[in-house]
Amino acid sequence: QVQLVESGGGLVQPVVSLRLSCAASGFTFSSYSMNWVRQAPGKGLEWVSRITGGGGTTFSADSVKGRFTISRDNAKNTLYLQMNSLKPEDTAVYYCAQEASGGMDFWGKGTLVTVSS
């Protein structure tokens, strides 16, 4: 079965950087684009970043451009989100999600990032 397990979240101050990881199993990881999506407390879902299957093309939301970098290691079946210059507004549950033709079919349970100034 498809499984996506996020890790790397925590409690940090704005100057601190974090790298989130998403360990994937149950499917051919390199065949799928992957996304990071987040949900701030009391807010709706916000798309953060996307990376194509081979890792050659990435897209990011304006709110994180220049600060967050999505990447993947297909040999390890792992998706990453490097987060620098963290702001309190980045506080959210971060989810990795598999992208298919019909949308994001599978999501992880999420990892909480709390940025406290």
Rounded-to-integer distance, Cα 95 and Cα 110, Å = 4
Looking at residue 11, what is its pLDDT?
A: 85
Three-state secondary-structure class, residue 89: helix
Rounded-to-integer distance, Cα 92 and Cα 110, Å = 9
Q: What is the pLDDT of residues 72-115, one digit of tens each?
A: 999 999 999 999 999 999 999 999 999 988 888 899 999 999 99
The mean pLDDT value of the chain amounts to 94
Q: State the residue for tokens 């790298």.
A: 19
